[in-house]
């Protein structure tokens, strides 16, 4: 086997594995969410597949003619890439989202594609080796080709393909190229052509990618997004991102707030002095609170930091969002956007950014709290939504973190007590005493600072160096 062809095969199969690995996160997200556990499971399963494939591929290459193995390793691997999509779509809805479920789902869908494609490297090595004197250069060259292929697949997928194509199209194209490559290798190495029956089977397998519709209307850069329109009142619309209901908007009445924690945000904002305010919103979602504040406090200026341009587009197209001088949007990661904001610029900062059930860890730390405190005016309020339950280890850690920076920290809990199942807990922080708030008892109870001290119960402050948010969640 020629050197250039060998390098091209290893480069392509390694790139395909990494493309599948990154795309897997988007495929799994509608069923098990986006979390550290999700990506840990995917990476672990893919690595296990690579290891198994390399071992088995090497064993087979020693026992059988490698010329008969290489083509099938590519077109069978391509077919398995196709099959991964219907597996996820069929099994995903039955998964609860705990770490074991995520590992099982990832294994069912992605272990075999990674293993079969990885088997091609030792097969190629066997074809390239003609003497022991060139072992080092052959294996070194193939290892470099595999690494560069993985890098190309990683950068291409993360920076281009996910934003340009849907996940099904990515998987279909990758599978198709692998199948075509396997057929061409069969012809180059053995002058063999696949039987007509085999071609039909592979064609049907490829179409299976499109046999299960996605669980959402639009795949944005970061989420699988859907808009549900109320059958009885088309002006009322809900935004779903992956597994979570993020917003419910009434196009005819922006003051109608149907989600409990959004009403609590409004109650907190009502505690500020009357009149227009300057508000910063970390996370856009359905842009419910910015439009609400514009309605109830005319002249209010809201600045929203939203990482996902697709969410902004959906809000403008279907949720009635209208930007302008009084409602501006910065499509950025809030962690990098916050330092660019001026000191003492806002009366209210609303934290409502989520990745699955978790606030992104880099927005939970004491360093972020210090930046929020910097942009707040004297007497300004920071209100933050977290979802937690059980022993509420994350919520307690976030309270401890904010108490490191702010003089006054309180929490609104459902029914006044830490929840059993995971529910929204709304945290309020300020350098001035938090005003009395008019809160509907059905929405929650504002607990005082004495309760907060006991509730924290030694929870560790979150820092950029240590913020295991996903592990703390109940």
Q: What is the pLDDT of residue 195?
A: 65
Q: Is 200 exposed, middle or buried (0-12, 13-18, 19+ CB in 10 A)?
A: exposed
pLDDT over 90 at 363, yes or no: yes
Angle of CA points 247, 249, 252, to nearest 5° = 175
- How many helical (H) and strand (E) elements, i.e. helices and strands, does the chain have? 18, 12
Structure tokens at 64: 């059988």
Of 216-220, 266-270, 376-380, the poorest mean pLDDT is in: 216-220
Q: What is the pLDDT of residue 206?
A: 76
Q: Mean of the per-residue pLDDT values for the chain?
A: 92
pLDDT over 70 at 132, yes or no: no
Read off the pLDDT of each residue in 399-424 and give the average, rounded to a whole number. 94
The CATH class, in words, for 224-472 is alpha beta
pLDDT over 90 at 3, yes or no: no
Give φ, ψ of 428 to 5 degrees: -125, 135
d(CA 113, CA 121): 14
Selected from 3.50.50.60, 3.40.50.2000, 1.20.1250.20, 3.90.1170.50, the CATH number assigned to the domain covering 3-215 reads: 1.20.1250.20
Give φ, ψ of 369 to 5 degrees: -60, -40
pLDDT over 90 at 388, yes or no: yes
d(CA 78, CA 75): 5
DSSP string, 324-367: BTTEEEE-S-HHHHGGGSPTT-EEEEEE---BTTBPPGGGSSHH
| pTM, two decimal places | 0.85
Q: Identify any residues that bridge with 236 across adjacent strands, giving them in sequence order.
A: 250
Domain boundaries, the chain: 3-215, 224-472
Where do the H-state alpha helices sit in 157-166?
162-164
Q: What is the pLDDT of residue 459?
A: 96
- Among residues of the chain, what percentage have pLDDT more than 70? 97
Q: 69 and 61 in contact (C-beta within 8 Å)? A: yes
Read off the pLDDT of each residue in 144-163 and give the average, rounded to a whole number. 92
Read off the pLDDT of each residue in 367-384 and give the average, rounded to a whole number. 97
- Cα separation values, 127 from 18, 59, 61, 349, 394, Å: 24, 14, 9, 63, 54
Q: 399 and 385 in contact (C-beta within 8 Å)? A: no
The residue with tokens 């979150």 is 462
Give φ, ψ of 298 to 5 degrees: -55, 140
pLDDT in tens, 104-114: 999 999 999 99
CB atoms under 10 Å from CB of 274, counted, come to 7
Q: What is the pLDDT of residue 406?
A: 98
Give φ, ψ of 457 to 5 degrees: 50, 50
Q: What is the pLDDT of residue 275?
A: 96
Dihedral angle, C-alpha 52, 55, 58, 61, nearest 10 °: -50
pLDDT over 70 at 225, yes or no: yes
Of 63-72, 79-88, 212-221, 256-265, the poorest mean pLDDT is in: 212-221
CB atoms under 10 Å from CB of 10, counted, come to 26
Q: What is the pLDDT of residue 267?
A: 97
Give φ, ψ of 69 to 5 degrees: -100, -30
Q: 352 and 282 in contact (C-beta within 8 Å)? A: yes
Read off the pLDDT of each residue in 431-455 and give the average, rounded to a whole number. 95
Which residues have C-beta within 8 Å of that of residue 156, sequence separation ≥ 6? 15, 19
Report the largest interatomic distance among the alpha carbons of the chain, rounded to a whole angstrom. 84
d(CA 177, CA 316): 37
pLDDT over 90 at 51, yes or no: yes
DSSP string, 89-120: HHHGGG---SHHHHHHHHIIIIIHHHHHHHTH
Q: What is the pLDDT of residue 103?
A: 95
N- to C-terminal Cα distance for the chain?
55
The side-by-side arrangement of strands in the sheet containing 244-250 is: 218-219, 224-229, 236-241, 244-250
């Amino acid at each position: 086997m020629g050197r250039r062809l060998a390098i091209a095969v290893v480069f392509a199969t390694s790139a395909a594995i990494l493309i599948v690995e990154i795309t897997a996160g988007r495929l799994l997200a509608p069923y098990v969410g986006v979390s550290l556990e999700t990506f840990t499971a995917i990476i672990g399963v893919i690595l296990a597949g690579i290891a198994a494939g390399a071992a088995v591929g090497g064993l087979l290459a020693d026992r059988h003619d490698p010329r008969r193995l290489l083509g099938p390793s590519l077109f069978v691997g391509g077919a398995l890439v196709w099959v991964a999509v219907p597996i996820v779509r069929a099994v995903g809805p039955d998964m609860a989202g705990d770490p074991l479920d995520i590992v099982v789902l990832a294994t069912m869908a992605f272990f075999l594609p990674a293993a079969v494609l990885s088997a091609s490297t030792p097969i190629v090595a066997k074809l390239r080796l003609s003497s022991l004197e060139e072992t080092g250069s052959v294996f070194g060259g193939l290892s470099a080709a595999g690494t560069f292929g993985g890098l190309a697949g990683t950068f291409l997928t993360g920076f281009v393909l996910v934003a340009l194509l849907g996940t099904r199209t990515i998987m279909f194209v990758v599978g198709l190229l692998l199948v075509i490559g396997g057929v061409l290798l069969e012809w180059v190495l053995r002058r063999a052509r696949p039987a007509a029956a085999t071609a039909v089977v592979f064609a049907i397998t490829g179409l299976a990618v499109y046999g299960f519709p996605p669980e959402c209307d639009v795949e944005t850069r970061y989420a699988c997004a859907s808009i549900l329109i109320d059958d009885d009142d088309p002006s009322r619309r809900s935004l779903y991102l992956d597994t979570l209901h993020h917003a419910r908007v009434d196009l005819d009445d922006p003051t109608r707030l149907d989600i409990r924690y959004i009403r609590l945000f409004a109650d907190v904002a009502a505690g500020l002095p009357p009149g227009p305010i300057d508000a910063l919103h970390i996370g856009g979602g359905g842009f419910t609170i910015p439009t609400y504040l514009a309605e109830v406090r005319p002249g209010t200026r809201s600045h929203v930091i939203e990482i996902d341009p697709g969410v902004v587009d959906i809000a403008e197209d279907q949720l009635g969002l209208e930007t302008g001088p009084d409602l501006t949007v910065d499509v950025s990661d809030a962690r990098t956007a916050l330092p660019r904001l001026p000191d003492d610029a806002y009366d209210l900062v609303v934290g409502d950014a989520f990745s699955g059930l978790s606030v992104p860890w880099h927005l939970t730390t004491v360093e972020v709290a210090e930046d929020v405190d910097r942009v707040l005016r004297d007497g300004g309020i920071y209100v933050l939504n977290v979802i937690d339950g059980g022993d509420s280890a994350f919520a307690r850690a976030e309270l401890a973190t904010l108490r490191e920076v702010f003089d006054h920290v309180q929490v609104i809990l459902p029914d006044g007590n830490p929840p059993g199942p995971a529910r929204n807990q709304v945290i309020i922080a300020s350098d001035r005493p938090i005003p009395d708030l008019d809160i509907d008892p059905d929405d929650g109870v504002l607990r005082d600072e004495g309760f907060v001290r006991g509730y924290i119960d030694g929870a560790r402050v979150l820092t950029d160096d240590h913020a295991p948010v996903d592990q703390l969640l109940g």
